[in-house]
Structure 1
Amino acid sequence: MARRKLSHEGTLVLDSEGLSKLLGDDEPVVALVAEARSRGMEVVISALTIIEAVHARTNKARLAWVLSGLRTVPVGDEEAKAASALLMAAGLHGHKYAIDAAVAEAALRQQRPVVMLTSDVDDMRKLCGDRVRLVVV
């Protein structure tokens, strides 16, 4: 696999798949997160990403340890309204894309440049446009 370079400073955002792979010790994702940190990037997730990524077999101790090294971006009224506006602009429905919209909205508020590890490139491109660099995981 070709090594993907990240920017100096800025922010790395993990979507649900990014967090799931980090929790599962996926080597490429662990390497990208380590590289981001070494370059001074902050690693963040939306609070809703935790809900989407966690399941009955999640190792709770591992989850707590991984989350302790990430900044969790809260989702309040203003963030929800902004995410809803992203959905409308992209022509997507909240029933299916609500969490993606919240993650995109959180990404768009972070220090630039912003890189997102995601498995939903098509949806995230619709929501973020070219303001967030998307890296497939």
Structure 2
Amino acid sequence: MARRRLSHKGTLVLDSEGLSKLIADDETVVALVAEARSRGMEVVICSLTIIEAVHARNKARLSWLLSGLRVIPVGDEEAKAASALLMGAGLHGHKYAIDAAVAEAALRQQRPLAMLTSYIDDMAKLCGDRVRLVAV
């Protein structure tokens, strides 16, 4: 497998799949997060990502990992901005609500931005070319 490279500084955002794979100690995701940190990138998640990634069997590991990540809260203004992203992308909140919140949180972070995601097409619709999407 070709090694994926990240930028210096900036922010690495994990969506639910990125966080789930980090919890599962996925070799590729662990290496990407370690590389991001070594380059001075901040590693962040949207608070709603926790909902998607939590399972009874991984609660202790999730808690430990969260202590090393910055969790971005979602309030009224962020929800409105995420709704605007959904409308702009022609997507419906019922299916894409959390993805929109993750995208909105990512777009507010220090650039350059990269996101570990398994939803490349959906996130590309929501983020455009403002976030480098890395498939996991």
Report the TM range for the smaller structure's normalisation: over 0.9
State the Cα distance separating 1:60 from its structure 2 match: 1.8
Residue segments in structure 1 that go unaligned for 5+ positions in a row? none
**Pairing of 1:54-65 with structure 2 (within 5 A):** 54-57=54-57, 59-65=58-64
Alignment-derived partner of residue 31 in structure 1: 31
Alignment-derived partner of residue 11 in structure 1: 11
State the Cα distance separating 1:56 from its structure 2 match: 3.0
Q: Percent same amino acid among aligned pairs?
A: 87
Residue segments in structure 2 that go unaligned for 5+ positions in a row? none
State the Cα distance separating 1:61 from its structure 2 match: 1.6
Separation (CA, whole Å) in 1 of partners of 2:128 and 2:90? 13
Separation (CA, whole Å) in 2 of partners of 1:64 and 1:105? 24
Separation (CA, whole Å) in 2 of partners of 1:55 and 1:101? 22
User: Alignment length, in residue pairs?
Assistant: 136
Query: Which runs of at least 4 in structure 1 moved beyond 4 Å after TM superposition?
Result: none
RMSD between aligned residues: 0.5
How high is the TM-score relative to the length of structure 1? Answer: 0.98
Separation (CA, whole Å) in 1 of partners of 2:118 and 2:60? 25
Alignment-derived partner of residue 67 in structure 1: 66
Separation (CA, whole Å) in 2 of partners of 1:60 and 1:89? 35
Separation (CA, whole Å) in 1 of partners of 2:84 and 2:127? 12
Counterpart code for 2:122: D
